[in-house]
């Protein structure tokens, strides 16, 4: 048997994702024995920092990438939306498997939807993008910071601490918690995070044999859609503090992308769409169209808001 060490975080969702990839690899190459190696990320250690401060900065991926570069593991599996948009030198994004559901969902007490939650209801979310879109629809609701793994977040609703939470559909369904969903948001209306629902499988750039093995997991349409979404975020100069949503799809060989940058105050959005055959071009075209409409000012305002929050808490 050929051994293959897979680096992963130790959360329930990360382990599900890594075991899923290990099973896919075993089906392709029965002679490969995949061993999961759990690696603690900064995000696993630091639990008192809002994710809106650190999303897209490598908060959950940097330690695993270092282990891959150092030869401690042979491949790494991440939630694609956690990867910084700038590629890490020496590493190859070898596969983006068939993407899971991209939508955000509501988990609420008493079966409520966003429209039926009572005035003043407390809604947990770790995302500026989600917060802005909630405020745009229900400015009377109170958005509160939310950290912890998926089961812990759900427990804050079932235990009565919060009235509702918003999180990714893919994570809930992968962990068998889909029965808690009370509303699935239309991805074209309530825009998800760039690359939401997608997995990213990395190896070292010079490891041709492993890259060839992982290439069998790659789904061309999923890669095209996620790359377009990530390119729009990259051109916008977004990252940890930018409330950016994006949703791309491939139909009949044509890639289309809609993205938006949201105003944190009231959910107002600068939005643009484009279509074409090349993910990078489509993503860049959408980003430039939003920048011409003033998206840069919204991104700057979100950074200023984050800086003010950090100053108030220090």
How do residues 73-108 score in pLDDT, each as one tens digit?
999 999 999 998 888 999 999 999 999 999 999 999
pLDDT digits (tens, 9 = 90+) for 242-252: 799 999 999 98
What is the phi-psi region of residue 195: left when phi exceeds 0, alpha when psi lies from -120 to 50, beta otherwise? left
Q: What is the sign of the dihedral through the CA atoms of 104, 252, 78 and 29?
A: positive
Q: Is residue 241 very low, low, confident or very high in pLDDT (cuts 50, 70, 90)?
A: low
- Whether 14 shows a pLDDT value over 60: the answer reads yes
pLDDT digits (tens, 9 = 90+) for 173-210: 999 999 999 999 999 999 999 999 999 999 999 999 99
**Catalytic positions, please?**
82
32 vs 58, more confident: 32
Model pLDDT for residues 125-150, shown as the tens digit of each residue: 989 999 999 999 999 999 999 988 99
The answer to whether 57 and 81 have CB atoms below 8 angstroms apart is no
Over the stretch 243-293, which tens digit does the pLDDT of each residue have? 999 999 999 889 999 999 999 888 999 999 999 999 999 999 999 999 999
pTM of the predicted protein model: 0.91
Instruction: Write out pLDDT tens, residues 30-56.
Output: 999 999 999 986 554 444 445 444 444
What pLDDT sits at residue 171? 97
pLDDT recorded at residue 46? 41
Q: Domains of the chain, with CATH numbers?
A: 1-97+199-218 (3.40.190.10), 104-184 (3.40.190.10), 219-314 (3.30.160.40)
What is the band of 307 on the pLDDT scale with cuts at 50, 70, 90?
low
Q: Could you tell me what percent of the chain has a pLDDT over 70?
A: 90
Give the mean pLDDT of the chain.
Answer: 91
């Amino acid at each position: 048997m050929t051994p293959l060490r897979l680096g992963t975080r130790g959360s329930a969702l990360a382990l599900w994702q890594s075991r899923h990839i290990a099973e896919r690899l075993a089906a392709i190459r029965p002679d490969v024995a995949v061993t999961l190696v759990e690696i603690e990320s900064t995000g696993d250690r630091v639990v008192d920092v809002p994710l809106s401060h650190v999303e897209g900065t490598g908060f959950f991926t940097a330690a695993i990438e270092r282990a891959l570069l150092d030869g401690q593991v042979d491949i790494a599996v991440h939630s694609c939306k956690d990867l910084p948009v700038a590629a890490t030198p020496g590493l190859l994004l070898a596969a983006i498997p068939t993407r899971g559901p991209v939508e955000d969902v509501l988990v609420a007490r008493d079966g409520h939807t966003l429209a039926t939650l009572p005035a003043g209801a407390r809604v947990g979310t770790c995302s500026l993008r989600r917060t802005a879109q909630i405020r745009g629809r229900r400015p009377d609701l109170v958005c509160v910071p939310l950290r912890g793994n998926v089961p812990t977040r759900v427990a804050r609703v079932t235990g009565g601490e919060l009235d509702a939470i918003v999180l990714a559909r893919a994570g809930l369904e992968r962990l068998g918690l889909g029965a808690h969903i009370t509303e699935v948001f239309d991805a074209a209306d309530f825009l998800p995070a760039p690359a939401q629902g997608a997995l990213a499988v990395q190896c070292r750039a010079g490891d041709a044999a492993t890259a060839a093995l992982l290439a069998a997991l790659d789904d061309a349409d999923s890669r095209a859609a996620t790359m377009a979404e990530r390119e729009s975020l990259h051109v916008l100069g977004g990252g940890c503090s930018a409330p950016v949503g994006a949703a791309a799809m491939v139909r009949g060989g044509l890639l289309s992308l809609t993205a938006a940058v949201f105003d944190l105050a009231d959910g107002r959005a600068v939005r643009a769409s484009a279509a074409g055959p090349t993910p990078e071009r489509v993503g860049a075209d959408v980003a430039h169209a939003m920048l011409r409409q003033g998206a840069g000012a919204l991104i700057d305002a979100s950074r200023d808001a984050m800086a003010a929050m950090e100053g108030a808490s220090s």
